[in-house]
Amino acid sequence: MALLLVVDEDAQLRQMLRVIFEEVGHQVTEAASETEAIRLYQRQPADLVLCDVPHPEKPTLAIVEKLRPQFPQLKVLAMSGGIPPCGPNTQVRLAAQLGTQGVLAKPFALATLLALVAATLKDGRG
């Protein structure tokens, strides 16, 4: 199916996401930091990056800033425990601010995660 790069400092969350995505047929690479993820992506670009927002109060993603000029097809979904539950309009604005295709507030429902990943992979825009 697709190669996913999961970026989060929480090793348990990365492992859980690996198991979930591998069960539905994806390949998964893991990184504990954006710096590690940037190196991995440069070696083997993933179809989709799921990346934790390290500082929700000042949301930026280095992976987008560093890789998008080199890889315009880069697709990223942001994940954060610091994003309060919000409506679709707020999520769209935050995704645009981060330069991502979408935003997931932790904790998220498995069905929501899988639906957003599938929709993002299906969308031809990078």
Q: What is the pLDDT of residues 41-52, one digit of tens each?
A: 999 999 999 998
Please give the Cα distance from 25 to 109 (Å, whole number): 19
Q: What is the pLDDT of residue 91?
A: 67
Using left for φ > 0, alpha for ψ between -120 and 50, and beta otherwise, residue 3 falls in beta
Q: What is the pLDDT of residue 57?
A: 58
54 and 66 in contact (C-beta within 8 Å)? no
Residues of the chain with pLDDT under 50: 125-126
Helix (H, G, I), strand (E, B) or coil at 3: strand
List the domains of the chain with CATH numbers: 3-122 (3.40.50.2300)
Who contacts 18 (Cβ-Cβ below 8 Å, separation ≥6)? 6, 28, 30
pTM score:
0.89
